[in-house]
Structure 1
Amino acid sequence: MTLVVIGANPTVARAIAELSGDQVHVRLPGVPVLGLDGWDASGVRKVFTADFRDAPAFLTFVDEVLAPMAPAAVVSLTEPGLEPAAVAAERLGARGVDPQVVRVTRDKLRMRRVLARRAPHLNPAFAPGDAPGAVARLFATHTPVVAKPVDGFGSRSATLFERPADLPPDRGTAATLFEQFVGGVEFSVEALSLNGRHTVMGIAQKGTTGGFVEVSHIMPPPSLDARRRLLVERAVAELLDALGLEDGPSHTEVKVEGDRVTVIETHTRLGGDGIADLVRLTTGVDWRCAAVGWAVGAEPQRAAAAAAAAATVFFTAPPGRVTYVAPQPSLTHGSVVEWDVPVRPGDPVGPLRSSEDRLGRAVLTAESPAECAAAVAELMSLRVVTTRRDR
């Protein structure tokens, strides 16, 4: 049985190495998969290079290279690889995620329109950017309003506006989606779907900047009681049913205000920002392996949890040039189990516009969600990276 994995990063490649059967990795040109280069077994090459972002060229690769292998499944956990993997699986008659579901989740406007028909209570008010009348009505009844790219991810270019007069001209196109800004606390929900049954693997509470860039995740979420957790799980199941996702992983972002759960977005992959590490630490499940292994019938394996609660914290600093990087601290609450701050004095720091502009991260563990939240607050109160504005 052959499993084809599109665009796996080194962490995913290592996590799934022990899955039974043959594995074939497809990587982009010039992008090495550390630990897989030169991996051959019985004279069969396991790593191929193909630009899966080029649809015609990739379909030729599928027909000429992958089809003779008769793979059992084709999957991906990277955003650019989701649709190519789904299309390849369908073309080869292999197991994978339905391409139509992938397309709907990658197009935020299409997702909103599907929910408007099938689960409208999960939607905020919204309007497409190329419908000026609808945008004007949205601003007249719901402010502030969030403008976001229809196909964006990673907090890219999401901006809050109070008045339509503040909108730059480039926002008035089909590439932008306008949504009512929803209050409340934001959560990330990791789920695995099998034969239409959705199992939540973990829920993380998010901390964000005013510009929507994520700066912390805490699992389990300290502000979500058992009753509201059930509301969140039911809302995610409704969402996935509405979109038609029957098999595979999902990462869904929701906001909870009172008893109302509003869907922000969803993806047919696991969450980034090391959320898979939080699932492993708090439940014992290797979420990366489970998010791929379902396609070849592998059951999620659960080891002993390492901690009752865990968190990731991301470091930021004002634009300028780095003058000082603090060493790993000892915390009053919880423990630091990973510390990665790659910037050095002299490095330039630009504005914080997306998750790619963050400067490093730490992973924390604690004996309870409340203590973990205290550890996050303690660490975020420290100045880990100091900058000085260039003159």
Structure 2
Amino acid sequence: MTLVVIGANPTVARAAEALPGDLLHVQLPGAPALDRNDGRMAGTRQVHTVDFHDGPAFLAFVDEVLKPLSPTAVVSLTELGLEPAAAAAERLGVRGVAPAVVRRTRDKLAMRRVLERKAPHLNPAFASGGDPDAVARLFAGHTPVVAKPVSGVGSNAVALVDRATDLPADRRTGGTLLEAFVGGLEFSVETLSAGGRHTVVGIAQKGTTGSFVEVSHMMPPPSLDAGGRARVEEAVRQLLDALGLTDGPSHTEVKVDGDRVIVIETHNRLGGDGIADLVRLTTGIDWRVAALGWAVGAGVPRGPATAATAATVFFTAPPGTVTDVAPPPSLTHGTIVEWEVAVEPGDPVRPLRSSTDRLGTAVIAAADATACVAAVAELTALPIVTTQPDATVPSAHLVADARPTTRPDAGPPGSTAPPSTAAQPAPVA
């Protein structure tokens, strides 16, 4: 039995070591080296390097290298590896997710159109940026409007637009999806599917900035009662059924506005931002191993939960040059279990426009939901990274605030106020 894993980072590769059988990693040229494990007891491990974004070259590799090995399955947990993994699995006739299903999850406009036919109650009002009449109707009846790349990831180039006249020419194409802004709180839902049966393994409540960049996750979600959780779980099941995702992991983002659940986006992988660590802490499920192991029938590894509630908090700072980095503090309401700061004095800090502009992260464990909310607020209020503005950096009022403007504990799920943000769209990357 051989599992092929496309584009694993070192953390995912370590999780794969827990699986039975042989492993074959396919990495991009120049990708970080994976940890050596010459003493692996479960089976052998190979690492091959190929540009799996180059379709013809990758399919030649599949035929020449993978096919003779008769692998059992091909999977990926990285966004840009999902479609190559699906293509390889289909070409080899082995277990994986169908390419058409993956495309429907990665193309946000395609997902909206599927839901329009099969589960319209999960959609906000939307339009393709390349359809002038639909754009005009959207702005006439729904403002503000969220503009996002059809294939974007990491909150990159997502902007809130108040008027159609504010929408620049480069957003008036089929590459942009426009959606009516949905109020309420946002949640990330981790699901493992098997034979069309969808099991929710964790739900995290998100905190975001005015530029839609995520700055915290809390699990279990403190603002979601049992009824709200049931509605969220049912909405995700309906979404996955509509898209035809029957097997494997998924990470779905939804907003809850009163009794209504609106799908923001979904992916056939687990969530990033340390969500797998929150699942492990609060449920005992090794989510990374489970998200890989489904393809080889490995089951769901589960140990004891070690925290009643847990959260990730991401560090941000105003743009400029780093002058100081604080050590991990002692929190009043929780315990820091992981801490990583990616900058040091002298490093530049860019405006907060996407997840890649965050400066570090902490994982917190707490005794209950109230303590977790307090711990997140406490840590968020501390200046972990201090910066000195540069003369060439835009003033702070022109860029996203370095603090969350949509706090993770801000108001009930029925809240509808949009986050404050600059009206001009973020640059398209």
TM-score range, shorter chain: over 0.9
Q: Report the Cα offset of residue 34 of structure 1.
A: 2.3
Map of 2:317 onto structure 1: 317
Residue 108 of structure 2 is aligned to residue 127 of structure 1: no
Residue 295 of structure 2 is aligned to residue 292 of structure 1: no
Map of 1:274 onto structure 2: 274
Map of 2:333 onto structure 1: 333
Within 2, Cα distance between the matches of 1:370 and 1:244? 38
Structure 1: which 5+ runs fail to align?
none
Question: 1:282-311 CA distances to partner (integer Å, 9 max, x unpaired)?
Answer: 000000000000000011011000100000
Secondary structure (helix, strand or coil) at the match of 1:46 reads strand
Map of 2:24 onto structure 1: 24
**Paired AA for residue 49 in structure 1:** T
Identity %: 72
Contact in 1 for aligned 2:202/2:219 (Cα 8 Å): yes
Within 2, Cα distance between the matches of 1:17 and 1:45? 9
Map of 1:213 onto structure 2: 213
Map of 2:172 onto structure 1: 172
**Paired AA for residue 348 in structure 1:** P
Within 1, Cα distance between the matches of 2:335 and 2:45? 43
**Paired AA for residue 198 in structure 2:** H
Q: Report the Cα offset of residue 40 of structure 1.
A: 9.2
Map of 2:420 onto structure 1: none
Q: Report the Cα offset of residue 30 of structure 1.
A: 1.2
Within 2, Cα distance between the matches of 1:217 and 1:27? 29
Structure 2: which 5+ runs fail to align?
392-429
Residue 78 of structure 2 is aligned to residue 78 of structure 1: yes
Within 2, Cα distance between the matches of 1:218 and 1:350? 26
- Greater length-normalized contact order (CA 8 Å, ≥ 6 residues apart): 2
**Paired AA for residue 164 in structure 2:** P
Q: Report the Cα offset of residue 367 of structure 1.
A: 0.7
Map of 1:54 onto structure 2: 54
Q: Report the Cα offset of residue 257 of structure 1.
A: 1.0
Tell me the matched-pair count. 391
Within 2, Cα distance between the matches of 1:20 and 1:290? 12
Contact in 2 for aligned 1:37/1:47 (Cα 8 Å): no
Contact in 1 for aligned 2:23/2:44 (Cα 8 Å): no
Within 2, Cα distance between the matches of 1:65 and 1:163? 53
Map of 1:161 onto structure 2: 161
What does 1:107-118 correspond to in 2, within 5 Å?
107-118=107-118
Q: Report the Cα offset of residue 362 of structure 1.
A: 0.5
Change (3 A) 1:32 1:341: closer
Map of 2:388 onto structure 1: 388
**Paired AA for residue 231 in structure 1:** R
Within 1, Cα distance between the matches of 2:380 and 2:20? 42
Within 1, Cα distance between the matches of 2:258 and 2:131? 32
**Paired AA for residue 375 in structure 2:** A
Contact in 2 for aligned 1:219/1:310 (Cα 8 Å): yes
Within 1, Cα distance between the matches of 2:62 and 2:36? 20
Map of 1:227 onto structure 2: 227
Change (3 A) 1:287 1:45: closer
Q: Report the Cα offset of residue 33 of structure 1.
A: 3.3
Within 2, Cα distance between the matches of 1:346 and 1:30? 26
Secondary structure (helix, strand or coil) at the match of 1:242 reads helix
Give the TM-score, by structure 1 length: 0.98
Contact in 2 for aligned 1:8/1:33 (Cα 8 Å): no
Within 2, Cα distance between the matches of 1:263 and 1:298? 30
Within 2, Cα distance between the matches of 1:288 and 1:50? 24
Secondary structure (helix, strand or coil) at the match of 2:344 reads coil
Contact in 1 for aligned 2:3/2:24 (Cα 8 Å): yes
**Paired AA for residue 26 in structure 1:** V
Give structure 1 regions of 4+ aligned residues with deviation exceeding 3 angstroms: 36-41
Q: Report the Cα offset of residue 32 of structure 1.
A: 3.0
Contact in 2 for aligned 1:254/1:262 (Cα 8 Å): yes
Root-mean-square deviation (Å) = 1.5
Within 1, Cα distance between the matches of 2:53 and 2:145? 32
Q: Report the Cα offset of residue 214 of structure 1.
A: 0.2
Q: Report the Cα offset of residue 61 of structure 1.
A: 0.2
**Paired AA for residue 222 in structure 2:** P
Secondary structure (helix, strand or coil) at the match of 2:236 reads helix
Map of 1:305 onto structure 2: 305
Contact in 1 for aligned 2:214/2:355 (Cα 8 Å): yes
Contact in 2 for aligned 1:251/1:269 (Cα 8 Å): yes
Change (3 A) 1:40 1:57: farther
Q: Report the Cα offset of residue 38 of structure 1.
A: 7.7
Give the TM-score, by structure 2 length: 0.89
Within 1, Cα distance between the matches of 2:8 and 2:323? 35
Q: Report the Cα offset of residue 44 of structure 1.
A: 7.0
Contact in 2 for aligned 1:85/1:96 (Cα 8 Å): yes
Map of 1:257 onto structure 2: 257
Map of 1:243 onto structure 2: 243
Contact in 2 for aligned 1:192/1:291 (Cα 8 Å): yes
Within 2, Cα distance between the matches of 1:40 and 1:279? 26
Q: Report the Cα offset of residue 170 of structure 1.
A: 0.6
